Amino acid sequence: MTALMGTKIERKTINKNKNCDWLIVGAGYTGLSAARKLGQLNSDKKIIIIDAQLAGEGASGRNSGYLVDTTLNDGFTSNKEISTYKNKTDIYKLGIDTVKKFIEEYQVDCDWNECGKYFGSSTIKDKYILENFSETLSNLGFDHKLLLKNELYKKLGTNFYNCALYTKGGILIHPGKLVRSMIDTLPDNVQLFENSELLRWKNNNNNIYCDFKKAEIVTKNIIFCANGFLKSLGIKENYNFPLTLTASMTRPLTDSEFKSIGEPLEWGVLPVKPLGATIRMTKDRRILIRNTAEVLDQFKMKENDLKNRAKIQAIGIEKRFPNLPKNIINFTWSGIVCRSRNSSQIFDKIENNIFAAGCYNGSGIGVGTLFGEQIAIKASNGKSKEIDLIERRKKPSWLPPQPFLNIGIKTRLFYERFKATAEI
Ligand SMILES: Cc1cc2nc3c(=O)[nH]c(=O)nc-3n(C[C@H](O)[C@H](O)[C@H](O)COP(=O)(O)OP(=O)(O)OC[C@H]3O[C@@H](n4cnc5c(N)ncnc54)[C@H](O)[C@@H]3O)c2cc1C
């Protein structure tokens, strides 16, 4: 998504030794929000933010743009666990509020559209899942509605979906525009270094020594905001793991193609089955689809593998829009997300001078922005009602070591993919 936008001019890389008061690792929503807040709270301190790639080129510039108020695929939909689910949605709400405040304060245009979202399935049997979910949403006061095939066809321009739950509270945004605005509004006392991968770090006598390819940074404090790479940096290793997702986007539909599907307004559908496709009709009439998830550790997927994933996405589009031409995808990309076993997030003071925030289980636009700001407040010895709420969440649960972890994840993904075959 950031690839669709112009390039930022000046880029700096770590090639000389440096000292600082604060080092932030990772320049996505979390790291950039932490840097902004830390810079505001500590105007006299030297703050550095680094990223192994270009800032915003991680998942933050590569996601589907659903700023969610509710999620379905996290196992917390039963009434029995309603207090856990409420805590989760309270955090989502704070996330939305934080992004909204940011874009209002800095006059950011990120194609903000309060159009709600759909949880949809082509399998009518899945209606019972939506009815159960509806009960939870009613108990918590979320405005929503169950829709069936004909109504969905009118809204979405596809008759693929047989049932869906529409929730009014979801917002669609342009993720690349949002992260770019966070880069452009970094305070003056924050220095950004890109293409600077942190290779190793160690904490010794209250100084943290950080090795890069060509130089070292010695910092008094550090905040890890590397999300899908937290585990590889040794942060909460037994509580999170990375997953690689891929997505594709078509060229804008022509007037006649758009007419042929009924000229729908912008919409977003999330799957009822966890590994089904998320699919969006964007404001500029592009179709965006994400329908793969797998275990891979590199920053970006190899070109050939990406081409193969694009074929899966082309099939997903064809299933939903059989009358559109076949070769209309013009971007395919991969991105890495961070997951925990129980879908809970990381927000921690690990040692006196070491902090970490991340692991949003695929819903990090709002929560990442919120956690970034709040971890900066916590690290500055501040307090807030947001921190109190975040700290009431369940903590991520323990995961087995390798190779058992990857065997377990791959088996689970295989099973979920099989269950979602029709929805991919
Ligand atoms: C295809 C896709 C679709 C998604 N759809 C949605 C959606 O619709 N809604 C939603 O809310 N979320 C979605 N997500 C998830 C969302 O993008 C993430 O939760 C969010 O971007 C996390 O932000 P972050 O800043 O914590 O992490 P990231 O944006 O991943 O940033 C972490 C940064 O750390 C850097 N880094 C890692 N290791 C190192 C190192 N050793 N040294 C230096 N830098 C390092 C990386 O380069 C990266 O830029 C999606 C993700 C993907 C991939």
For the stretch 338-368, pLDDT in tens is 999 999 999 999 999 999 999 999 999 999 9
- The two three-digit tokens of residue 301, written as one number: 């997927």
Q: Give the rounded distance of the alpha carbon of 185 from its chain centre.
A: 20
Q: To the nearest 10°, the Cα dihedral for 334, 66, 3, 195?
A: -60
Protein residue closest via CA to atom 31 of ligand 1: 28
**What is the pTM for the complete model shown?**
0.96
Nearest atom, ligand 1, residue 32 CA: 25
| Euclidean distance between CA atoms 391 and 168, whole angstroms | 27
Ligand 1: atom nearest CA of 51 is: 44
- Name the pLDDT band for 73 (thresholds 50, 70, 90): confident
Alpha carbon 328 to chain centroid distance? 25
Residue among 115, 199, 229 to mutate when testing ligand 1 (max atoms within 8 A of CB): 229
CA separation for the pair 214, 195 (Å, rounded): 12
End-to-end CA gap in the chain: 22
Distance CA 268, CA 272 (A): 13
Mean pLDDT across 318-333: 96
Atom of ligand 1 nearest to the CA of 371: 26
DSSP structure class, residue 55: T
Ligand 1 centroid – CA 246 distance (Å): 13
* pLDDT on residue 81: 80
CB of 353 closer than 8 Å to CB of 222: yes
d(CA 351, CA 353): 5
Rounded to the nearest whole angstrom, what is the distance from the C-alpha of residue 267 to the centroid of ligand 1? 23
Determine which residue's CA is closest to atom 9 belonging to ligand 1. Answer: 66
Q: Is 51 in the pocket of ligand 1 (CB under 6 A)?
A: yes
Read off the pLDDT of residues 114-136 as tens digits, 9 standing for 90 and up.
999 999 999 999 999 999 999 99
With CA atoms as reference, report the closest residue to 242 among 54, 89, 399. Answer: 399
**CA-CA distance, 370 to 366, in Å (whole number)?**
6
Q: What are the structure tokens assigned to 83, written together? A: 């207090």
Please indicate whether residue 33, judged by its CB atom, sits closer than 6 Å to ligand 1. Answer: no
